[in-house]
């Protein structure tokens, strides 16, 4: 790709990176990552994290000392914007740790792979080129921690979805993968089919151009976002959406306890709503051409783009 074109597209990536505001910095200590904050007081809901493993491709942190015999483990993976203390990935991990005190909760950090830039502009293609290697290396570190892959639920956002896919591929089959806002192929990495590497994979996608509309999971759902959200806000909404549910004690999406209609080619198999509900409507995967200001929420969909799941099933029979 022409260098100038790459600069223009990378400018868009700056907006995405800005969705993860800097609140502090991580300083590595003796087997533990100590979070140091710019503000005078430390937020009460952000604990110190254990450093589980460290390599040139990234680090793995934990909210508690690892228990290799735990029945369940959660692994969170950020995307191109990276992760920093107090952000949505740390918030998700915090709520998971509180709700599942006997489970392992891990946060992968591959900021070193996403930090490349040209003239101060993030190079999204450099990050994309490192996804496969990063997934392989993180899988090695997780395997060496002694955790059983069959007990793992991997949770990824954007490029992090594809990192989790490569992790699962190298770990062998994991239990579940929750894929939030998987990245558009225009970012430099092909969409990764998660179905061969997990017992069950669900993806949550929007019409943001930063999201792929490809089917990569056993169930692909359209994720409703708050009215007025722009493309970047939609693309980074899924992890916040899940964290809020877990904070409120609703584990139904996390543990895949919802009953979904059968998948149909070219359609999302339903709408995951802002309030953690579910609307049984098939929604077309193809993005509609709406106002230039962006698609603000699922409520803007026109009737031909979404039909009752039962009607579509009957018409297909």
The count of domains in the chain is 1
Lowest mean per-residue pLDDT among 21-25, 71-75, 127-131, 138-142: 21-25
Specify the DSSP class assigned to residue 300.
G
- What pLDDT, in 10s, does the model give residues 145-169? 999 999 999 999 999 999 999 999 9
pLDDT attached to residue 111: 72
Q: Phi first, then psi: what are they for 89, rounded to 5°? A: -70, -40
pLDDT attached to residue 50: 82
pTM, entire model: 0.81
Give the residue, 180 or 4, on which the prediction is more confident. 180
Q: Tell how far CA 9 is from the center of its chain.
A: 22
- What pLDDT, in 10s, does the model give residues 204-233? 999 999 999 999 999 999 999 998 888 999
Sequence-distant (6+) residues with CB within 8 A of 47 are: 63, 94, 97
Instruction: Check which CATH number belongs to the domain holding 301 and give it.
Output: 3.40.50.1820
Between strands 278-279 and 271-272, the pairing is: antiparallel
Three-state SS at 305: helix
Q: Are 110 and 138 a contacting pair, CB within 8 Å?
A: yes
**Residue reference for tokens 């483990």:** 73
pLDDT band at 295 (very low <50, low <70, confident <90, very high): very low
Answer yes or no: is pLDDT of 7 > 50.
Answer: no
Per-residue DSSP letters for 130-169?
Answer: THHHHHHHHHHHHHHTT--GGGEEEEEETHHHHHHHHHHH
Closest CA to 188 of 13, 20, 59: 13
Rounded CA gap, 152 and 264, in Å?
Answer: 27
Between strands 267-268 and 219-223, the pairing is: unpaired
- Other C-beta atoms lying within 10 Å of the C-beta of residue 20: 20
- Domain limits at 18? 3-316
Mean pLDDT of 82-88: 89
pLDDT band at 291 (very low <50, low <70, confident <90, very high): very low
Q: Tell how far CA 261 is from the center of its chain.
A: 23
pLDDT attached to residue 52: 80
- What pLDDT, in 10s, does the model give residues 226-283? 988 889 999 999 999 999 999 999 999 999 999 999 999 999 999 999 999 999 989 8
pLDDT attached to residue 306: 52
- What pLDDT, in 10s, does the model give residues 45-58? 556 688 787 777 78
């Amino acid at each position: 790709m022409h260098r100038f074109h790459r600069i223009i597209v990378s400018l868009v990536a700056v907006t995405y990176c800005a969705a993860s505001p800097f609140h502090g910095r991580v300083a590595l200590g003796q087997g533990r990552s100590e979070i140091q904050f710019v503000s005078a007081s430390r937020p009460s809901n952000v604990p110190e994290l254990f450093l589980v493993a460290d390599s040139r491709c990234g680090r793995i942190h934990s909210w508690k000392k690892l228990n290799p015999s735990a029945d369940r483990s959660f692994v969170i993976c950020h995307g191109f914007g990276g992760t920093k203390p107090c952000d949505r990935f740390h918030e998700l991990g915090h709520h998971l740790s509180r709700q599942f005190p006997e489970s392992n909760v891990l946060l992968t950090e591959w900021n070193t792979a996403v930090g490349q830039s040209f003239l101060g502009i993030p190079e999204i293609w450099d990050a994309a080129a490192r996804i496969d290697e990063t997934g392989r290396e993180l899988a090695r570190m997780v395997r060496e921690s002694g955790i059983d892959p069959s007990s793992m639920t991997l949770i990824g956002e954007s490029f992090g979805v594809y990192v989790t896919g490569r992790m699962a591929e190298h770990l062998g089959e994991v239990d579940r993968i929750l894929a939030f806002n998987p990245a558009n192929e225009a970012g430099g990495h092909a969409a990764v089919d998660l179905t061969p590497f997990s017992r069950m994979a669900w993806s949550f996608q929007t019409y943001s151009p930063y999201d792929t509309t490809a089917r990569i999971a056993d169930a692909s759902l359209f994720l409703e976002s708050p009215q007025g959200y722009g493309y970047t806000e939609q693309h980074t909404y899924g992890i916040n959406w899940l964290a809020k549910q877990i904070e409120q004690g609703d584990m139904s999406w996390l543990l895949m306890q919802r009953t979904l209609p059968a998948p149909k080619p070219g359609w999302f198999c339903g709408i995951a709503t802002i309030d953690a509900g579910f609307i049984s409507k098939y929604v077309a995967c193809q993005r509609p051409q709406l106002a230039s200001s962006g698609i603000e929420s699922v409520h803007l969909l026109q009737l031909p783009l979404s039909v009752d799941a039962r009607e579509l099933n009957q018409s297909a029979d």
